[in-house]
Amino acid sequence: MEAIKKIIDSKLLNGVVALPKNFRDKKVEIIIFLCEEKKALPKLSIKDIDAMVKDSVSASLVGVLPDSGKSLEEYRTERLSKYEHTN
């Protein structure tokens, strides 16, 4: 990766970069790198997601817990109580 490194008077950065007070009126070192633009993630519709999940391991997990209105804590308590009496 290519970079430019230079020592300059901090006054040249006024209006370009906000510097802390202890950097003002002094020599500062600047390092400049090229900024690579990040590629945007593709937009997925519900149909696209459903197509990817179909016949996958994730699909086998969908609906494992029926929506009975219980909270996760209630499910946890119920599951743990089943193991309290095992020897």
The answer for residues whose C-beta is within 8 angstroms of residue 30's C-beta and 6 or more apart is 5, 6, 7, 8, 13
> What digits encode the pLDDT tens for the residues 3-52?
999 999 999 998 888 999 999 899 999 999 988 888 888 888 888 887 87
Amino acid identity of residue 73, one-letter, is E
Q: What is the mean pLDDT of residues 41-69?
A: 75
The reply to whether the predicted model has a pTM over 0.85 is: no
pLDDT at 62 over 80: no
Domain ranges for the chain, please list them.
3-33
Q: What is the pLDDT of residue 35?
A: 85
What's the Cα-to-Cα distance from 79 to each of 68, 70, 71, 84, rounded to whole Å? Answer: 15, 13, 13, 9
Q: Which pLDDT score, from 0 to 100, does residue 28 have? A: 94
* Distance in angstroms between the alpha carbons of the first and the last residue of the chain: 63
What pLDDT does 36 receive? 80
